[in-house]
A and B are shown apart, each in its own frame.
Chain A
Amino acid sequence: MNAAPPPAPRKLRLATVSLAGCFGCHMSFLDIDERLFALIERVEFDRSPLTDLKAVGRCDIGLVEGGLCNAENVQVLREFRAHCKTLVAVGACAINGGLPAQRNHLRIDELLRAVYQQRDGLAAGAQVPDDPELPLPLNRVHPIHEVVHIDYSLPGCPPSADAFWQFLTDLMAGRTPQLGHGLMHYD
């Protein structure tokens, strides 16, 4: 008589990455605490530091922490853009470069020499690292929207766990995420 229950909706795929970030945004995401167990009922992590349950495929949501400090960051960001339907700049560094962008008024070569050749307590003859294995640093730190299209920004340094929760639950419900007072902050 009764129709079969509707099939469970497909879980959304969520990818996360930290480029030139401090990992604070990922930590704040983990600060949803026990809500994590509720979240994994509705979301599967794909290319996330948290789990690796499913095969890498196209993602519904990509969360990007950190700005662009070197060439490798740019490459990883482009891969994320190519794989994620909705790409989100998470936190101050992804959104405007964050504190690492405070180096932008300095010349990168002078910066490297100061840290690797002119600091206290360095062994004699210290040189700036230059091995081909090291990705080239960019002259300036850039926010990610200057390189790829982003769909949303989630501000904060880091955004609070409640902001993550509000943002993701809105997104999962098909609503445009709205952060009210308290959840919307830049510090």
Chain B
Amino acid sequence: MPFDLETAAHPERLRRVAIDPVSRVEGHGKVTLLLDEAGRVQQARLHIVEFRGFEQFIVGRPYWEVPVMVQRLCGICPVSHHLAASKALDAVVGVTGRGGAHPLPASATAMRRLMHYGQVMQSHALHFFHLASPDLLFGFDSEPQRRHIVGVAEAHPEIARQGVLLRQYGQEVIRATAGKRIHGTGSVPGGVNRLLSDDDHALLKGQAAERIAWAEGAVALAARLHESEPALYRHFGEVPAMMLSLVRPGDGAMELYDGVLRVRHADGSLLLDGHSDQRYLDLIEEEVRPWSYMKFPYLRALGPERGWYRVGPLARVQNCSHIPTPRAEAARQAFVAAAGGAVAHGALSTHWARMIELLYAMEVIAELLDEPALRAGELTASAPRQGGPGGDSEGEREGIASIEAPCGTLIHHYRVGRDELVTHCNLIVSTTHNNQAMNEAVRAVARHYFDGRALTEGLLNRIEVAIRAYDPCLSCATHALGRMPLDVQLSAADGRPLDRLLRDGDGRCTR
């Protein structure tokens, strides 16, 4: 039994508790718990129940469709997929990101970076303000009728307004670079299809200073919440895990668009650095377990039991050597100091790290807006790509790329035949990297809070709080959004119903 509480020895003797769906809005995920007679949790699993098969129906499509197609994996972080695919296909058309005979034009790099940082910003704002802040501002056991963005708007109108407008700014950056806010077309293999217009430049530039100030306020809010209940914030859903992320080559600074892979042990010591994403298959292997459509990746060298890791804001903020923008770096140092030299592994610390990244993204956007290449220059590289008859593997070209999506490292891998059709696609999406960590967080919460107690709405909410901290994109798998309705049923081993707790979408619980 590799993981404590993953698989019970005799499931047939246990009571099943299903939290289904974890997110009713898509119904892609659910949690099941198996309890023994004393009400102790013997098995806890987060299942991803949705299968869409993107990796397979992309095969046979022309490569230039792919960046537009794959972003439909997720409407919350579509830009991550749009750009990861574009970067991978740059290689297929013979264009290199840095240097080389056919480098990506400076304008294309600047536009893509701007688009990406706009996206990180809007996704982080959405996650913190629209989704997580009600739990944090009102408490896990607060009236469920108030725990939502409308409740925040009533109790803290300025926080809600700034949250909505921070997200709006990120979405406007995407519109200005991709043509529309969701599922645009700005990036193409080998370049981009537009530059930043003067109007959009003026709009974004004019609002940047105020948005930076608001982002700093968001960091302060997250820090304040932490200080209000340090033990809870430190230890809730605490799961020591290795940390994987991209960092800037050379100095290991935080970098979200392009970098090299770095892994730290849970104790903070470096395990691996400067690993090229081109060799991700040397680094990562994936396991399939029968109870989830989401695979379980781990470091090949360490095996499935010891090799799993965490990605996303909490990993990135502690994995990088520093953040290359001044305000966010100061915020990072405060975060590190608050942990007193230890590595933070509590689920709720992710929110603080996420707001530090929001500030970083906003600072990068403000810097990029001064970049002249955004408004003048070549759109695409003069790629040497030549077509051919196809059908032979000899002329096949391969492209691999990674990017730091809002919720973690994202890897795209394609092979394209000489006839321009995709012959192979492999994706490891951010939330998949976090699969084991999220399952462990569910178990930590279940172990700590559930054992032997009667079911309450507050207990159920704690499971959601732990999952939600990972910003699980369970639609790339499925992005969990907002209040999750829960239907928990307890059955005796013979199937006799023992207890049932229904929490409606409005948060009311009925038995």
Direct touch of chains A and B (CB < 8 A): yes
A residues lining the B interface (CB < 8 Å): 15-28, 30-31, 33-34, 36-37, 40, 45-56, 66, 69-70, 72-73, 76, 98-100, 102-103, 106, 111-112, 114-117, 119-123, 126-131, 133-135, 137, 157-158, 160-161, 187
Q: Is B3 an interface residue (CB 8 A)?
A: no
Given A33-B164, A53-B506, A112-B51, A27:B182 Cβ within 8 A: yes
Q: Is B284 an interface residue (CB 8 A)?
A: yes
Contact A22 B482 (CB under 8 A): no
Known interface pairs A24-B72, A52-B505; 14 further A-B residue pairs with C-beta atoms within 8 A, sorted by A's residue number = A20-B50, A22-B78, A23-B26, A25-B75, A28-B181, A30-B126, A30-B167, A34-B165, A40-B153, A49-B482, A51-B148, A121-B281, A133-B47, A158-B183
Contact digits for B39-67, partner A, Cβ 8 Å, 1 yes 0 no? 00000010101111111110000000000
Distance in angstroms between the alpha carbons of A157 and B75 in the assembled complex: 9
B1 CB → nearest A CB, Å: 17
Distance in angstroms between the alpha carbons of A48 and B76 in the assembled complex: 17
Given the complex, which residues of A lie within 8 Å of B291, measured CB to CB?
129, 131, 133-134
Given A19-B26, A72-B49, A126-B288, A46:B506 Cβ within 8 A: yes
Contact digits for B289-305, partner A, Cβ 8 Å, 1 yes 0 no? 11111010000000010
Contact A157 B72 (CB under 8 A): yes
Given the complex, which residues of B lie within 8 Å of A70, measured CB to CB?
49-51
Distance in angstroms between the alpha carbons of A144 and B12 in the assembled complex: 37
How many A-B pairs fall under 8 Å by CB? Answer: 228
Interface size on B, residues (CB 8 A): 78
B202 CB → nearest A CB, Å: 19
Given A37-B153, A157-B183, A52:B147 Cβ within 8 A: yes
Partner of B47, one of A40, A50, A134: A134
Distance in angstroms between the alpha carbons of A120 and B320 in the assembled complex: 29
B490 CB → nearest A CB, Å: 16
Pick 9 A–B contacts, CB within 8 A, sort by A.
A20-B50, A24-B72, A24-B76, A40-B153, A45-B150, A47-B504, A53-B148, A100-B52, A121-B281
Contact A26 B72 (CB under 8 A): no
Given A47-B485, A133-B291, A52:B51 Cβ within 8 A: no
A4 CB → nearest B CB, Å: 26
Given the complex, which residues of B lie within 8 Å of A45, measured CB to CB?
150
Distance in angstroms between the alpha carbons of A31 and B45 in the assembled complex: 34
Distance in angstroms between the alpha carbons of A127 and B293 in the assembled complex: 11
Q: Is B30 an interface residue (CB 8 A)?
A: yes
Distance in angstroms between the alpha carbons of A133 and B150 in the assembled complex: 34
The 3 closest A-B pairs by CB, nearest first: A24-B75, A131-B291, A51-B148
Given A120-B413, A133-B30, A48:B290 Cβ within 8 A: no
Partner of A22, one of B74, B148, B426: B74
A184 CB → nearest B CB, Å: 14
Q: Is B306 an interface residue (CB 8 A)?
A: no
Contact A137 B51 (CB under 8 A): yes
Contact A121 B30 (CB under 8 A): no
Distance in angstroms between the alpha carbons of A112 and B293 in the assembled complex: 10
Contact A36 B475 (CB under 8 A): no
Contact A122 B52 (CB under 8 A): no
Among A40, A99, A117, A122, residue most surrounded by chain B Cβ atoms (within 10 Å): A99
Contact B75 A51 (CB under 8 A): no
Given the complex, which residues of A lie within 8 Å of B426, measured CB to CB?
119-121
Given the complex, which residues of B lie within 8 Å of A131, measured CB to CB?
47, 290-292
Distance in angstroms between the alpha carbons of A28 and B167 in the assembled complex: 12
A60 CB → nearest B CB, Å: 15
Given the complex, which residues of B lie within 8 Å of A66, measured CB to CB?
26
Q: Is B6 an interface residue (CB 8 A)?
A: no
Q: Is B24 an interface residue (CB 8 A)?
A: yes
Q: Is B354 an interface residue (CB 8 A)?
A: no
Given the complex, which residues of B lie within 8 Å of A73, measured CB to CB?
27
**Chain A: CB-nearest residue to B283:** A121
Given the complex, which residues of B lie within 8 Å of A52, measured CB to CB?
144-145, 147-148, 482-483, 504-507
Contact B51 A69 (CB under 8 A): yes
Given A46-B505, A52-B506, A73-B27, A133:B49 Cβ within 8 A: yes
Partner of B290, one of A122, A123, A130, A137: A130
Contact A40 B55 (CB under 8 A): no
Contact B148 A19 (CB under 8 A): no
Q: Is B286 an interface residue (CB 8 A)?
A: yes
Distance in angstroms between the alpha carbons of A89 and B182 in the assembled complex: 18
Q: Is B370 an interface residue (CB 8 A)?
A: no
Given the complex, which residues of B lie within 8 Å of A121, measured CB to CB?
280-281, 284-286, 426
Given the complex, which residues of B lie within 8 Å of A47, measured CB to CB?
24, 485, 504-505
Q: Is B369 an interface residue (CB 8 A)?
A: no
Q: Is B25 an interface residue (CB 8 A)?
A: yes
Given the complex, which residues of B lie within 8 Å of A106, measured CB to CB?
53, 56-57
Distance in angstroms between the alpha carbons of A123 and B469 in the assembled complex: 28
A100 CB → nearest B CB, Å: 5
**Chain B: CB-nearest residue to A27:** B75
Given the complex, which residues of B lie within 8 Å of A31, measured CB to CB?
168, 171, 181-182
Given the complex, which residues of A lie within 8 Å of B268, measured CB to CB?
none
Contact digits for B380-393, partner A, Cβ 8 Å, 1 yes 0 no? 00000000000000
Distance in angstroms between the alpha carbons of A30 and B126 in the assembled complex: 9
Distance in angstroms between the alpha carbons of A134 and B271 in the assembled complex: 36
